[in-house]
Structure formats: C-alpha cells, structure tokens
Structure 1
Amino acid sequence: MKSRSPLVNRIAIVVCAVVLTSIVSMATTLAVSKSIEGNATAINLTGALRMGAFRLLSHVASGQESSVGENNLQNMASQYGLSLRDNNNIARAIPDTEDHPLAKQYQAIQAYWEQTLRPGLENHPPGSFASADIIAATQSYVNSVDQLVSMLERRTEARIGLLHLIQMISLAFSILIIIALFVDLRNRVLKPLRKLVSIANAVSEQDFSHKANLKGSDELAQLGSAFDQMNSELALTYSNLEERARSKTEELEKSHAALQLLHASSRDLFANHDLCSGAVPMLQELEQLLGIGPIRLYLHDKQSAEPVQAVTTASVERPFYCRDHHCNACLVTPEVYDELPIEEHDGRRLLLPIRTPGKLLGTLEVWYPVEKGLSDTARRLLETLSDQLATAIFLEQQITEEQQLTLVEERTVIARELHDSLAQSLSYLKMQVARLRRLGIEGEQKNAHNAILDELSTGLNSAYRQLRELLATFRLKLDTPDLATALRKTIEEFSERLGKPIELIYNLPPQALSPNEEIHTLQIVREGLANAVKHADATEISVEVVFESPQVQARIRDNGKGLPEGGQPVNHYGLIIMQDRARTLGGQVAVQDRNEGGVEVTLTFVPKSRHLIPAEVSNT
C-alpha cells in the first residue's frame, strides 16, 4: 500500500529548498563581491594622491632656483597629472554614469588640478618660499581628495552591508526551512520514533504492555503497527516463561556474588594474620548477601573447657578480645541489635564445625530469621566458608607452633651451653671457696678472711640459684609450649616448695602474647614466687594473670612479712631483674606492701599484638 505523504518525499522537498536557497545566496554574494572588487586598491591609490600633492608643495617650498629644479617640478607635475587621469585602478571604482556623485567628484578633482593647482605650482616664482595662496589651494585640493576617499569608503561599506543583508535573508530563510523541517520531523518522525524506541526498551526489559497506536499511512505508521503486532505475540510467548526467568536470574546473581565473596574471603583470610580484621568485613558482606546474621566464630582452646569467642559481626559492647579500639566494625546500637534474628528475637541457629582432618578447631555460629529460613545455596556457601576458615586457622596455628618450636630449640641450646659452661664454672668457684675455708687462717686477718668468704659464698649461691631457675624455665618451656601450661607447672613446683597449694587465676585470650612476651612474663612470675617462698615467710600465695583490654596484668600476692625498710632484701637483685624484663616488654613492675599484710607484685604491659591501640587508651 502506497503512502500518501511518504517521509522520503518530504525530506527531498526540504533538501531542494535548502539547496535553492544556498545557490541564490551564493550567486548574489558573488555579484556583490564582484562589484566591490578593487575598491580597497582605489582607496589606497586615492589616498596616495594626497601625499603626492604635499610632495609637490614641499618641492616648491624648498626654494630651489636653478633651471634643473624647475624642470624637475614640471616633470613631477606631469607624472602626477598622468596618475590622476589615467589610473585604471581608480577608474574601475568610479561608476560609468556621469551623473553619479563619485564620477562628479572625480571630475571636479581633475578639473581643479588642471585649472588651479597645477598652474599655481608651475607659475610659482623659483627661489621663493610657498605663498599662502598656493598652500590654501593645495589644502583645498587635498580636502577634495579626502572627500573622494570617504565616498569610496561609504560605497564599499554600503555594498558590504548589502552583502550582509543578503546573507541574513538567506540565513533567515534557511532557518525557517529548518524549523519547518524540525516541526515536521518532530511530529511525523521523532515522536513516532520515541514511541517505537520506548516500546523496544520495554521489550528488552520484558514489558510487553506498551502500544504505539500510530495514526497515518507513512512508513513509521506501518512500522508502529508491526511493532504492536509483534509486542502482542511476544507477550503471549513470554507470559509463561517470565517467572522462571526471574527466579533463574536471581539464583545466578546470588551465585555470582557468592563466588566473588569466596574469592575475596580466601585472599583476605590467608593474607591477613589478624582473624578479626580479616573475617568481620567478609562475614558482614555475607550477612547482607544472604539476609542472615549475626555470625560468631568460636575457637576451641585446649586450656579452656568452653569454646572461646574470637569473632562476632554484631555486638553492643566492645568484645573482650578486641585489639583495635579505633575499629567499630562489630559495634551496633541496641536498637539494631534487638532487630537481629537471635534466640530472643525469633531466630534460629546453625552450628557449623571448623575442622581439619582429625582435629576440631572451632565452631561457626550462624543466626537466621525463622520466617525466611536458610536456603540450600546459603547452607553450601556457609559450609565452604567454614572449610576456608578451618584452613586459615590451621595454617596460622601451624606458623605459631613452628615459631614456638624454633624458640624452644634456641633456648634448649642456650640452656645446654649455660649448664656446660657457667654452671660448671660456678661449681668450681664454690669448691675453691670451700678449700679456702679449710685453710684455717689464724691471727688478725681471720675475721676479715671469713667475712670475704661469706660474701663470696652468698653471691655464688645466689647466682647458682638464679641459674638453676633459669635452666628450669628453659626446660619447662621445652615440654610446655604455651604460657598457661607453663604457669600451671610453675605453680605446682612452688606449691611443693611452699608446702601449700598456690591459687592461679588465668584468663588470657588465645595467642594474646608473643613467645618472647610469654618468656618474660613467666620469668617475672617465677621471680615473684621465689621471693614470696624464700624471703617473705608467706603461708598463702596467689597468682593472677588476666587480660584487661588492652593490657595484660600479672599479680603475685602473699601474706608474708612485707618489704624491708630499704625496699629490697640484702644481697638480692631479683626486683632489679624484674624491672629490666618489664621494660623489655614496654611495661612496668610495681612492688608494694598490702594493707592486709604481705607484698603484691604487679606486672602491667600492652602486648605487641595490640600495637593498634594508642598510648592514651593503654594507660587508662
């Protein structure tokens, strides 16, 4: 079926109108520009006539009296007159009609030259200066030339203005054509195209409810009818598949996000040695993805009867194990916490073991809403995550144990060297002191001799005792690679020496101290126990090693006789050694009498693993 007003015909008419307007504009522009061709040169040459007149006047006024000068003036005047009459460049700028103002002015200038100015210049007496009449005549001539120049300029400007007017008319006509084209295109092309594009976009979004309903019989109206028919057929085709496609899309999106999360969690868990900072952001992202939470991670510590919480994604108060007091990742307001699906708020709990072959490392506790449940995809994702956590925790423990075993081996070598060198040397010195005692020196030097031997014996015994305790500590760590077990064995040792059981309170989080910090803490506790057993005459002793975030505090209390007046027993350097060890840890040791009797030794320091916590917080 033919179209009554096809788009191609309308566009062809508009293009022809634009082309015709362009041709007319270019033709008139060419004619006007041709009419003013050479005007600029004529203006320049006419202006040069003024300079020539002044040169002639200057020559007359120079006062030359020779016949050579007079002939020169006549030659100059003849040449000037020739350039005025027969100059083709000026003549082309002058209209051919005699009654034209430019032609009249040009003829008046020629007549004034021939009849007035030239005779006046040639008849001027040689050797005399220019008279007022000749100067006035020259000035009148120059004024006529200036008027001719002004007339040429105005004529040129008028032609240029006509050229501008033609261009503006052409531009206006072109704009009217373009506006008409735009209006026609908007009504006949753009609006239908927008409808068709909107229908196409809706179809791409699986929305088949839009219709074009275009009126007319042109190409776009026919295309709109075809779109409406196609839309109806597609709506019938996709009506039964839409729900299945939506569910598949959601499943694919969750699967894609789950894969990305697993990849990121694997990288972060194995790259970040801090389980809390490495796991909390990832677990929170998992909660948002699956609509679950909170999630808590518990580690199984062989020294603790109950699992120890190591990570949580939501807490009202700062957790006990927190290392970074500037981090608020797991802190939420009570209002937010009350909305979480925990046991008190209609929540269900899923417990997933974190294990490696043959070893249970911890438990992953996941809460989710009762009404929503937990899909199979989410459960599989959580099981995969627990496997990744198990691998990361196992590798971290392996690294820690290897570091501790390396330290134990080094300390075993040191203990062997001390036993084979320093211990034998001290034994040899003790035997030499015993030999000196049996010499039995008599006379005035006997008392001084015995006093020196007593001091030597006391010093050697003290050094030998400290060496035995040091070797005992080294050997104790060899069999007990963690601080809790080493402290228990130390308590058992000193309980036997005291004759009564010593109370021990211990609540440090797992891996709170480095191997070096464990060594110095154990040595200070042993030194404090040794002082209480040997010097205090105590009957009750207690040891408390606790974590008060971010500080670790170790306290040794006894009910003995207290400190002497000097603050330290004679010939005993244990307190100085404890202070040196405390400074090595970056902390301090306080030794003071208790109000109820006895002495309290307190070690306070911030573990190096808490380096993120500022000093002002650690001092609180």
Structure 2
Amino acid sequence: MKSRSPLVNRIAIVVCAVVLTSLVSMATTLAVSKSIEGNATAINLAGALRMGAFRLLAHAAGPRDNNTPGGNTSSLADDYEASLTDSLITRAIPGSADHALANQYRAITAYWEQTLRPGLENHPQGAPVSANMLAATENYVNSVNQLVSMLERRTEARIGLLHLIQIISLAFSILIIIALFVDLRNRVLKPLRKLVSIAIAVGEQDFSRKANLQGSDELAQLGSAFDQMSSELALTYNELEERARSKTEELEESHAALQLLHASSRNLFANHDLCDGAVPMLQELEQLLGIGPIRLYLHDKESAEPVQAVTTASTERPFYCRDHHCNACLVTPEVYDELPIEEHDGRRLLLPIRTPSGLLGTLEVWYPADKGLSKTARRLLETLSDQLATAIFLERQITEQQQLTLAEERTVIARELHDSLAQSLSYLKMQVARMRRLNIEGDQKISYDAILEELSTGLNSAYRQLRELLATFRLKLDTPDLATALRKTIEEFSERLGKSVGLKYNMPPQALSPNEEIHTLQIIREGLANAVKHADATEIFVEIVFDSPQVKAKIRDNGKGLPEGGQPVNHYGLIIMQDRARTLGGQLTVQNHAEGGVEVVLTFVPKSRHLIPTETSST
C-alpha cells in the first residue's frame, strides 16, 4: 500500500492534534463537570444539616407538643438522619476510603449516630439544654462546617482544574495553529511563490531561475521537477536555437552554393571546358561546405578503371594537365596532409554522373569523419553531379557531331575530287596512251618520246597523290575514340606486314578534338604505309603518349632508311604529313635512326576544349 505524502502527513498530524486537543479538552471537561455534578446541592444540604442540628436541639429543649405530627424527637432525628445520608450528599463524597472528605463524612455520621442522636433522644422534653449537650451539638456543627468547607474547596479545585484544562487546551490549540501557519508559510506559501515566479520566468524565456527546495514533500518534489523541467527547457531551447542557427547557416550555405552552381553551370555550358569550368567551382564549393578534395572520374570503355579527369587538390601535376602555367589544383604536401582523405580519417561519398543513356562517370567527395555531411550538402552535391552529367553528355554529343560533320565534309571533298580532278587525270592518261601508239618516224621521235615520258610520269605522280588525298578524305573515325581506331589500324598493318606491329598508347580520354584525332591517325597510317611499302621493314613500333602539355606520336621501323635526299622520288606522302603537322600546330621530323631504319616523330599541343587553354605552348 502506498503511503501518504509528507505534506498530507503534516496536515493530517495537525488536524489530528487539533482534534485530539479538542477531544481531550472535552473529555476532561466532561469528567470534571461530572465529578462536581451535585456538589452545590450537597453543599446546600450539608449547610442545612447545621441548622437542622440546632433545630433538633431547640426541639429537645422546648415543651412537648403531642398534637403536632412528627413532633417527637425520634421522628425528627429520623428525618435529620435521612437528610444526612441523602444520596445527593453521599454522591459528592469520594468513594475512596482514605480520602479526607470521606473520613470527615464518616466521622460526622459516626458522631451523629453515636453521640448526638442518642443525646438528643435521651434528653428530657422541655428540660434545659445541658452544657455537654450544647458542646456536643456545637462540636457536631463544627464538623459539618468543616465538611461543607471541604466540599466547597473540592468543588473549587475541580472548577480550577477545569479552567486550567481549558487554558491548556486553548494554548495548545493556539500553538498548533501558529505552527501550522509557520509550516504553511515555509513549506507551502514560499515554495508556491518560488514556483509561480519560475513559471513566470519560463514564460519570459528565462530558464536560469531555480527553486532549490529542500525536503521530500510534494512541493519539494514539484520544485525539483520544475528545476529539472527548467534545465531541460533551457537545454531544449538552446538546442533549438542552435538548430535554428545551424539551419540558417545551412540555408545560407545552400543559397550561396546554389548561386555558385548556377554561375558555374553557365560557365560549364558556355566555355565548353570541363577542367577550367569545374575546378574553380568545386574549390569554392569545398570552402563553402567544409569538404574536399573532390575528384571527377570519367568512365572509358577502353579502360577497366575510371580515369581521373578533374581534381581540386594534388601534390603533383595531374597526368591530363596540359597547362604548366596553371596551378589551380596544386597544393603543398603540408596542406594535402590536412585534407580529410582516407589516410587522415576522412569519409568518401561516391555520386554517379549518370544520364538516361548510361553512366558517364563518378564524382568522389571526401569530407571530415567527425563533422559528417549534412543532407543539404548531399543534395547540393547530387545537383552538381546532375549538372556535370549534363555538361559531359552535351560535350560528347558535340564531339560526335563534329566528328560526323568533319567526316561528311571530307566525304564531299573526296567525291568532288574523284568526280572532277580524278576523271580529268584519267582522261589525260588515256590520251598519253593513245599518243604512245602513234608511229612517229624521224628525228622528232626522240624528243616526242621524252615529252610523253615526262607527261606520263607527271600524270602518274599526280594521280598517286590524288589517290592519297582521296584516301585521306575518305578516312573517318567509325570508332568511339582514337585508341580503338589506332588499335584497328595496328591490326590492319600487322596483317599487311605479316608480323605484329608494336604499340604503346598513353593518352587521357577525350584529350584530342575530332580534327586532331583524324590528322593524328592519318599521319600514323601514312608512316605505317611508308614503313610497309617502301622501307622493307620487318619490325615496326608505334608510340603515342601524352607528355604534358604535348602529344608525341612516334613511328619507328628497322627498314633500309631514307635516301640521301631525304624524300623518295615521286612520293608525296611526307609532304602531306608535314602539311598535317602544320595544321595541328605541331612539328614533324622524319630522319634515319642511328641503329637503322626510319623514325617519324610528331609533336603538337592539343587545342581540345576539354583541357585548359594555354597561352604559350612549348614543343
């Protein structure tokens, strides 16, 4: 069974004390009043006994009157004794045998029975009262007076006791009431005032007020609950303020990030430069969100692993970088060691760069493990990945369109050349053949044959050069990238050579524009064709590498080498290769190698829109 609370217990104690005081006061008052009940009558009757004794004495001394009923002394004595033993008197006498009042009453009764009554009854009627009789009567009356005095004192004592009990009860009741008011003030009123003031302070968002109530009663428990509630409200309020502040800062960051994404998206789609458009924006986003480094990987069908295309922090110049004057992503080792990467307790978020047509790449975002990544930051990065996906997809679409346009233009040029110049040259060759069949005699035959020979040689060279041009214009990239087209070319010439042609390819994806890819592939094909047809080579090795900021293509064979003039007779392939190199803004060197054979080296700086444009290029 659950016990009552301390405050209820105190109130119950006070009520019980008041009730008990009242009951004790009423009980004692009732007992005392009961004990003195009939004392006044007893005192009156006892006082009448004195007069009755003298009346008996006077009757005994008076003349005898037999006509008066009950006039004899014996009958009067009986009446007197009945008054002496009346219950109204005996009830006022204590029942205790050793009580003084009881002893006095017994002494009076005995004196009456043994001395006074016999004397009165034996006294002759009408005879004068003797001195002894008078003395006995006076002695008896004195004893009755003493009994009356004792009754009066006893009654007064009881009345005094009753007054004392009333005073004590009143004083005790007053003390209880005072203690109750003091307790109520200290244990109820003051705590209530504190609790009310705390409630008002909490309503005014002041959570510093505390009740600090001592004890175990309800108000102390309520005060403790108020203190705990105030502390929890203060903590909750501070948390809410902190969350509101954090949300505000997050919204401000989100707003700034959205503005940055908006400006950067325009920059991405305007200048068609992934690295130049993405790196500054990503670095600003890192500072804004407290993340980084951020890396962008593109998926290449020819590579098993994604190829890094953009990074915001690197200690070494990235492989794909072609501008040695740009240090946007380069940081010192000390700064790099502070970045939250895997070795420095960082966490990585991978976001797919995806379009409905497929996966284009992956955005790798590093962030501190202790701070985490907010939902707002994650949404912003997802928006960024969508923008990058759109930009990359559009760039690839533009590249493919440019390749298609370039191929169509070259096809048109090849058709025009074939339909006009090629037919004209064929016609001239037929005319030369007809002239050879003419029978010309005499001295003119020698000069005539010489002229025909020169015409035939010129026409054959022009026709051969035209066929090379037609082959060049009809060449198109029907593969997704230069690497695949180059491998197919190597397979083609390996079959023609009868032995595998060596290949070393190390180029970033989409490093060259469609026009640069076409010219580079054609120069390599022309070099391979020369090595197979004219050099009598048995081993050929092709190498194309990206040595930032240059692209270097090399074709080397172990053939017979170039003639002393450097250019084979009636062969215009090298001239066309030189023209292509100049179109690329590069340089072509063709020379005999010290170990034998010919080495063709092409070097140029790409002008692809995917890479940072350079103001000065070195060869």
Query: Secondary structure, in 3 states, of the residue corresponding to 1:477?
Result: coil
Question: How far apart are residue 331 of structure 1 and its match?
Answer: 0.7
CA separation in 2, counterparts of 1:451 and 1:489?
A: 45
Deviations along 1:271-300, whole A, 9 cap, x unmatched?
342111211122222223333221110111
Q: 1:504 to 1:461 in 2, by over 3 A?
A: farther
Query: Secondary structure, in 3 states, of the residue corresponding to 1:555?
Result: strand
Looking at CA atoms only, which structure, 1 or 2, has the larger radius of gyration? 2
Q: 1:413 to 1:480 in 2, by over 3 A?
A: farther
CA separation in 2, counterparts of 1:346 and 1:453?
A: 84
**Structure 1 length normalisation: TM-score?**
0.58
Q: 1:611 to 1:368 in 2, by over 3 A?
A: closer
Paired position in structure 2 for 1:245: 241
Deviations along 1:179-201, whole A, 9 cap, x unmatched?
xxxxxxxxxxxxxxxxxxxxxxx
Paired position in structure 1 for 2:618: 618
Q: 1:468 to 1:501 in 2, by over 3 A?
A: farther
Question: How far apart are residue 305 of structure 1 and its match?
Answer: 3.4
Paired position in structure 2 for 1:317: 316
CA separation in 2, counterparts of 1:367 and 1:254?
A: 19
Q: 1:396 to 1:474 in 2, by over 3 A?
A: same
Deviations along 1:24-72, whole A, 9 cap, x unmatched?
xxxxxxxxxxxxxxxxxxxxxxxxxxxxxxxxxxxxxxxxxxxxxxxxx
CA separation in 1, counterparts of 2:291 and 2:316?
A: 21
Paired position in structure 1 for 2:196: none
Q: 1:489 to 1:468 in 2, by over 3 A?
A: farther
Question: How far apart are residue 586 of structure 1 and its match?
Answer: 2.1
CA separation in 2, counterparts of 1:267 and 1:476?
A: 41
Question: How far apart are residue 502 of structure 1 and its match?
Answer: 2.2
RMSD after superposition: 3.1
Letter in 2 for 1:283: L
Paired position in structure 2 for 1:548: 547
Query: Secondary structure, in 3 states, of the residue corresponding to 1:241?
Result: helix
Question: How far apart are residue 406 of structure 1 and its match?
Answer: 1.8
Question: How far apart are residue 498 of structure 1 and its match?
Answer: 2.5
Paired position in structure 1 for 2:375: 376
Matches of residues 157-168 of structure 1 in structure 2 within 5 Å?
Answer: none
Letter in 2 for 1:246: E
Deviations along 1:139-198, whole A, 9 cap, x unmatched?
xxxxxxxxxxxxxxxxxxxxxxxxxxxxxxxxxxxxxxxxxxxxxxxxxxxxxxxxxxxx
CA separation in 2, counterparts of 1:510 and 1:208?
A: 63
CA separation in 2, counterparts of 1:207 and 1:568?
A: 97
Paired position in structure 2 for 1:525: 524
Q: 1:488 to 1:461 in 2, by over 3 A?
A: farther
Q: Where in structure 2 are there 5+ consecutive unaligned residues?
A: 1-204, 209-229
Letter in 2 for 1:330: C
CA separation in 2, counterparts of 1:611 and 1:460?
A: 47
1:477–1:486 CA contact under 8 A, matched in 2: no
Q: 1:469 to 1:308 in 2, by over 3 A?
A: farther
CA separation in 2, counterparts of 1:519 and 1:428?
A: 32
Paired position in structure 1 for 2:509: 510
1:476–1:486 CA contact under 8 A, matched in 2: no
CA separation in 2, counterparts of 1:405 and 1:327?
A: 33
Matches of residues 199-210 of structure 1 in structure 2 within 5 Å?
Answer: none
Deviations along 1:311-340, whole A, 9 cap, x unmatched?
001100111122332222211111221222
Paired position in structure 1 for 2:538: 539
Q: 1:553 to 1:451 in 2, by over 3 A?
A: farther
Paired position in structure 1 for 2:274: 275
2:560–2:597 CA contact under 8 A, matched in 1: yes
Q: 1:311 to 1:575 in 2, by over 3 A?
A: same
Question: How far apart are residue 440 of structure 1 and its match?
Answer: 5.5
Q: 1:488 to 1:426 in 2, by over 3 A?
A: farther
CA separation in 2, counterparts of 1:252 and 1:270?
A: 31
Paired position in structure 2 for 1:365: 364
Paired position in structure 1 for 2:69: none
Q: 1:447 to 1:486 in 2, by over 3 A?
A: farther
CA separation in 2, counterparts of 1:548 and 1:452?
A: 52
Question: How far apart are residue 597 of structure 1 and its match?
Answer: 0.6
CA separation in 1, counterparts of 2:348 and 2:322?
A: 27
Matches of residues 320-469 of structure 1 in structure 2 within 5 Å?
Answer: 320-439=319-438, 441=440, 446=445, 448-469=447-468
Between Structure 1 and Structure 2, how many residues are aligned?
392
Q: Where in structure 1 are there 5+ consecutive unaligned residues?
A: 1-205, 210-233
Q: Does residue 562 of the first structure (1) align with residue 561 of the second (2)?
A: yes
Query: Secondary structure, in 3 states, of the residue corresponding to 2:327?
Result: coil
1:538–1:559 CA contact under 8 A, matched in 2: yes
Q: 1:498 to 1:461 in 2, by over 3 A?
A: farther
Query: Secondary structure, in 3 states, of the residue corresponding to 2:272?
Result: coil
Q: 1:569 to 1:475 in 2, by over 3 A?
A: closer
1:423–1:467 CA contact under 8 A, matched in 2: yes
CA separation in 2, counterparts of 1:343 and 1:450?
A: 82
Q: 1:365 to 1:440 in 2, by over 3 A?
A: farther
Paired position in structure 2 for 1:230: none
1:262–1:385 CA contact under 8 A, matched in 2: no
Letter in 2 for 1:613: T
CA separation in 1, counterparts of 2:469 and 2:506?
A: 25
Question: How far apart are residue 360 of structure 1 and its match?
Answer: 0.9
1:266–1:388 CA contact under 8 A, matched in 2: no
CA separation in 1, counterparts of 2:237 and 2:436?
A: 108
2:505–2:543 CA contact under 8 A, matched in 1: yes
Question: How far apart are residue 611 of structure 1 and its match?
Answer: 7.8
Q: 1:391 to 1:444 in 2, by over 3 A?
A: same
Question: How far apart are residue 523 of structure 1 and its match?
Answer: 2.9
Question: How far apart are residue 518 of structure 1 and its match?
Answer: 2.7
Paired position in structure 2 for 1:153: none
2:315–2:333 CA contact under 8 A, matched in 1: yes
Query: Secondary structure, in 3 states, of the residue corresponding to 2:405?
Result: helix
